[in-house]
Amino acid sequence: MKTSGRGHLERLEERLLESGAARSNDEKLTVREHSEARGSCPYRLAYHRDYTRVLHSRAFRRLHHKTQVFISPENDHLCTRLEHSLYVASIAKTIARTLRLNEDLVQAIAIGHDLGHAPFGHEGEKVLDKLARKHGLEGFEHELHGLRVVDKLDSPYLAKAGFPGLNLTFAVRDGIACHCGENFEATLRPEFCKRPEDLRRMERGAVAPCSLEGCVVRYADKISYLGRDLEDAYTLRLTAADQVPRYVREHLGASNSEMVNRLVGDLVANSVCTGENAHLAIGAEMTKAVNELYAWSKETIYQSAPATASFRPIERIMEPLFSFLLEEIEGCQKRGDVSGLRKPKGQEVWALRVLADFLKQDVANWHTEPPAQLTVDFIAGMTDAFFKQAVTDIFFPRGVR
């Protein structure tokens, strides 16, 4: 009997997965915006292909230099956005394996869930949202922008296959758009009836994923950052284990490993993955502990001086950079090409060369996209380091070389 190839992998799914799990041959969940031959890869099923597409994307690579909590940390032991994404994938895979859900799907969603994050973490997101609204757009939310990244902006297949984006399956795109890590639901039920066209009409945090696997990642995101952010706070001596609220210590613990272990165990014990009542859940005591920890962390960690010291400079600097880049993009659209970008100091500016490449190589319809949207896209894709270098190259005096 042949034990390799797609057929074998699909039979394994049927044998090993719970009835509520997503299958790789589910036509609704695996539909792609641009048609590709089904089964074109003989040894990877649909969600595994999506995982490798995200893994090799430039947007994923840039997460290594994007803020998680503490802006542009010089301490190498503080968590970055890339590391957070890998932690989410690890936790989600553990949950999926235990509940007999689709591990390929949770990993693909997990490593892609934060691709839409702006530089400088949630503060960068807030400032970019304000600027987007000021220029007539609906705003900026990293979850929905992540959908734009994988659908339109990270386009390795544009020249060869003729379509923009990574062309991911509906289930993965949905999980990215619906991961919302700020709400702490006691119970999360998938919206199995959701359709691909519904993704563009979502309200942030108000819609559940279309699969149990998407729900797993939504929980794993919270499980990943609660304890890890606490460990970073210990590293910076912002707090100590004995200062964590007593109820939290008793039910969750005071270390990342304890919190991950207890939350994963509680989630597995309270979840149902079969039948019409399929859902994920955590118990009442754990729900109370998680919410108490988040409220305490907000004051102790997220609003601390080390976490917020750069908030005002980010807002002051991002607005003039946005205005400058907006003018450049408007000029490119009027000329119909990306040549002729200004040289603010009479010399080529690296950031503008990157902008030209972005428009020419990554955005299929850059001529007709609203220039404010393209400006948002470009800034959102920046790493912390590239943002600071762009500001320096464009606005600061340069000595003679």
Q: Which position has the higher pLDDT, 388 or 276?
A: 388
Between CA 338 and CA 75 the distance in angstroms is 38
Between CA 137 and CA 130 the distance in angstroms is 10
∠ CA(325), CA(326), CA(329), 5° rounding?
Answer: 85
What's the whole-number mean pLDDT along residues 44-51? Answer: 93
Q: What is the DSSP letter of 189?
A: -
Position 32, amino acid: R
Question: Residue 196 pLDDT > 50, yes or no?
Answer: yes
Residues 6+ positions from 286 with CB-CB distance below 8 Å: 251, 252, 262, 263, 266
Measured over the CA atoms of residue 91, residue 97, residue 102 and residue 108, the dihedral's sign is positive
Position 130, amino acid: K
Task: State which of 121-125, 292-296, 344-348, 359-363 shows the largest mean pLDDT.
Answer: 292-296
Domain ranges in the chain are 10-115+154-307, 311-395
Tokens of 273: 């993955």
Residue 279 bridge partners (DSSP)? 272
Q: Which position has the higher pLDDT, 301 or 10?
A: 301
Quote the pTM value: 0.93
| pLDDT attached to residue 72 | 65
Tokens of 166: 């990574």
Position 267, amino acid: L
Question: Residue 187 pLDDT > 60, yes or no?
Answer: yes
Residues 6+ positions from 334 with CB-CB distance below 8 Å: none
Please give the CATH topology (third level) of the domain spanning 10-115+154-307: Hypothetical protein af1432 (1.10.3210)
In which band, very low, low, confident or very high, does the pLDDT at 70 lie, cut at 50, 70 and 90?
A: low
| pLDDT attached to residue 1 | 45
Q: CA-based diameter of the chain, in Å?
A: 72
Between CA 218 and CA 266 the distance in angstroms is 15
Task: Name the residue among 203, 229, 228, 208 with its Cα closest to residue 219.
Answer: 208
Convert the pLDDT of each residue in 83-138 to its tens digit. Answer: 999 999 999 999 999 999 999 999 999 999 999 999 988 899 999 999 999 999 99
In which band, very low, low, confident or very high, does the pLDDT at 311 lie, cut at 50, 70 and 90?
A: confident
| pLDDT attached to residue 288 | 95
Question: Residue 5 pLDDT > 90, yes or no?
Answer: no
Count the neighbouring beta carbons within 10 Å of the beta carbon of residue 156.
17
∠ CA(39), CA(42), CA(47), 5° rounding?
Answer: 60
In which band, very low, low, confident or very high, does the pLDDT at 186 lie, cut at 50, 70 and 90?
A: very high
In which band, very low, low, confident or very high, does the pLDDT at 157 lie, cut at 50, 70 and 90?
A: confident
Tokens of 159: 């020249």
Report the mean per-residue pLDDT for the chain: 89
Question: Residue 204 pLDDT > 90, yes or no?
Answer: no
Between CA 280 and CA 211 the distance in angstroms is 11
